[in-house]
A = this chain, B = another copy of it.
Amino acid sequence: MQRSGSVNKKQYKYDQVSDYVMAMIENGTLKLGDRAPSLRKLSQILKVSISTINQAYVQLEDKGVLQARPQSGFYINADIQCTIDTPKPIISGSCQPRNVRFSKLFEDISKISNNTRIAPFAAAKAPLELMPVKALIRETRNMISRYPAASLDYCYPPGDEKLRHQIALRYSDMGVNVAADEIIITNGATEALSLSLQAVAKRGDIIVVESPTLFSVLRLIEKLGMLALEVDTDPATGINFDSLEYALDTMDVTAMLVVPNFNNPLGSLMPEANKKRLVQLLQERNIPLIEDDVYGDLYFGDERPGIAKCYDNDNRVLSCSSFSKTISPGFRMGWVAGGKHHAQIMEWKQASSTASPSLQQLVLAEFLRSGQYDRHLMHLRKALKFQVEKGRLMIARAFPQGTLISDPQGGCMLWIKLPDGVNCLDLYSLALEHNIGTMPGIIFSATRKFRNYIRLNCGSPWIEENEQAIQTLGELVHSLVN
């Protein structure tokens, strides 16, 4: 991996430190995203004072090579390719609950998502090529013929018993004791989140969310008249607890909504210890936790990550998820296990949509029961892992210096910081002219702070057109830098 000479060699002692660190990066000892040697350790090795090391590190930070993280030290964050990007905690700037307002941009973006002539980097899903299409066709044809009455008649909340049983078994596999009767089938995870928010909060209430967070969640909070309090979130480990505790100490927070596993757009994975700590923290303060796990089954590692619900002693976690990211978005099948808020959620479900479609519930119940879902997931995870890693490499090659790329451990999205000064909306418009979809970072926060970020979907296989589109996209970013 080559580095451009953005660090000048000078005679000062702190230059020695810079050179030493740069050499470690260039020879591969320090990888991008790694923690830099501690001040104390480097002071011993180089035999210079801690304050000199600190001076050098600050200089390297100014140049974009290192990045300081609160209570954690310095990390390699160079203006070269393929590093983990950590946004600064927004708590140090302003942490105000926001009345989220979004413009027509949403409408435009949702239109391009379904346009097949546009390179599919804007969506947040795997394409149908990776979905179990044949099996779903077969099971759908099968179920409606075998069970016409159940397929066509109302399936009142909480929904199909067999499907809820299968979902309960999956909770059990994660060590969580959720009975089928505690699960309510919803119109995708979006409805699960909507019902959950309405069950625990009302107009004007403050909801803590990660930052960046999915724009549709921000929009939902906006529509419900609630206020989104965006808390700094690390692309690797999820929500920052210093920022979170500060927010909880200083604001009257009503509820919290997080995506601990492969948060969209960051792809961050909250360590199990943090999930446990999060639940405890909210338990102490008697705040309900709405957890969205739609990407949880799409892990790249050896084991499925746990969920916050695993650490929930007093039923305060509202566990939401769906099959939209793993099987079929058009099925609109999600669920919520609402814990102590179950009855309230049932009331909201009955009042606002009466029931969920019946046929898809029957099909999914059978798809899970027969083991087809788990076999499909194995293939899907493998494909997505390969595609995301390949995407990172291609972007790293095509995009200019100053680009930072996230390193997700699951899901199918990359979160990319463009070089300073490149506006995501300029790139969005320019890319669209070339029939390339991108998701502008600006819509992932009500504060508009991710102006030079984009989210790219790597869910689609790297066919030649898409590889070419990444090349073109890189050239466009280059053109915006100059």
Q: Which residues of A are interface residues toward B (Cβ below 8 A)?
A: 106-107, 110-111, 113-114, 125, 128, 131, 133, 136-137, 140-141, 144-145, 148-157, 187-188, 190-191, 194, 198, 202-203, 216, 219-220, 222-225, 328-332, 346-348, 350-360
For the complex, would chain A's binding face be called helix, strand, loop or mixed by DSSP majority? helix
Residues of B within 8 A of A330 (CB): 150-155, 355, 357-359
The CB with the most chain B CB atoms within 10 A, among A128, A145, A152, A190, is that of A152
Q: How far is the CA of A223 from the CA of B343 in the complex (A)?
A: 13
Give the oligomeric copy count: 2
Residues of B within 8 A of A194 (CB): 351-353
Contact: A351 with B187, CB < 8 Å?
no
Instruction: Sample 17 A-B pairs with CB under 8 A, ordered by A number.
Output: A110-B157, A136-B148, A141-B141, A141-B144, A152-B330, A152-B331, A187-B187, A190-B351, A190-B353, A194-B352, A194-B353, A198-B223, A216-B350, A220-B351, A330-B359, A332-B353, A352-B352
Contact: A145 with B149, CB < 8 Å?
no
Contact: A332 with B351, CB < 8 Å?
no
Q: How far is the CA of A137 from the CA of B146 in the complex (A)?
A: 10
Nearest Cβ in chain B — how far from A92, in angstroms? 31
Given contacts A152-B133, A331-B152, contact A355 B188 (CB under 8 A): yes
Residues of B within 8 A of A332 (CB): 353-358
Nearest Cβ in chain B — how far from A80, in angstroms? 37
Residues of B within 8 A of A113 (CB): 154, 156
Q: How far is the CA of A312 from the CA of B335 in the complex (A)?
A: 40
Given contacts A144-B137, A357-B357, contact A351 B152 (CB under 8 A): no
Contact: A352 with B223, CB < 8 Å?
yes
Contact: B141 with A145, CB < 8 Å?
yes
Residues of B within 8 A of A187 (CB): 187, 353-354, 356-357
Contact: A329 with B110, CB < 8 Å?
no
Residues of B within 8 A of A348 (CB): 223
Nearest Cβ in chain B — how far from A309, in angstroms? 23
Residues of B within 8 A of A156 (CB): 110-111, 113-114
Residues of B within 8 A of A137 (CB): 144-145, 148, 151
Contact: A190 with B223, CB < 8 Å?
no
CB-CB nearest in chain B for A203 = B203
Residues of B within 8 A of A351 (CB): 190, 194, 216, 219-220, 222-224
